[in-house]
């Protein structure tokens, strides 16, 4: 199962993809105060680099803090939107 991880609780955001307990891709992005502008391009990089489609994901996990309210909100809403559209937890 492919699992996407997202953490936007700090100014440095992290995104990773794990498959069968093996880290396949990881990216750390200086989000600054531009979480909304830099999160999706980071996720797109992971999908492109691995040659996979979001529909191949089996689950999405997201860090819940502590951290900045706005950063957490961006990460959680992105994860929830992706999970809902893909029908996955």
The enclosing domain of 44 has a CATH number of: 3.30.420.40
Structural domain containing residue 24:
2-86
> What per-residue confidence (pLDDT) applies to 33?
78
User: For the chain, what percent of residues have pLDDT higher than 90?
Assistant: 78
The alpha carbon of residue 78 and the mean position of all alpha carbons in its chain are separated, in whole angstroms, by 8
Q: Average pLDDT over the chain, rounded to whole? A: 93
Fill in the DSSP letter of residue 76: H
**Total structural domains in the chain?**
1
* ∠ Cα 30 45 18 (to 5°): 95
Taken as a whole, the chain contains a residue count of 89
Confidence at 32, pLDDT banded by 50, 70, 90: confident
Residue 76: phi, psi to the nearest 5?
Answer: -65, -45
| Euclidean distance between CA atoms 83 and 89, whole angstroms | 6
Whole-number percent of the chain with pLDDT over 70 = 100
Rounded Cα gap, residues 80 and 75, in angstroms: 9
């Amino acid at each position: 199962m492919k699992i996407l991880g997202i953490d936007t609780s700090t100014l440095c955001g992290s995104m990773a993809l794990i498959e069968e307990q093996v880290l396949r891709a990881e990216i750390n992005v200086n989000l600054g105060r531009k979480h909304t502008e830099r999160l999706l391009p980071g996720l797109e990089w992971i999908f492109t680099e691995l040659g996979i489609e979001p529909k191949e994901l089996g689950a999405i996990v997201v860090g819940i803090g502590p951290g900045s309210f706005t950063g957490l909100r961006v990460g959680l809403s992105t994860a929830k939107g992706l999970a809902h559209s893909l029908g996955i937890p």
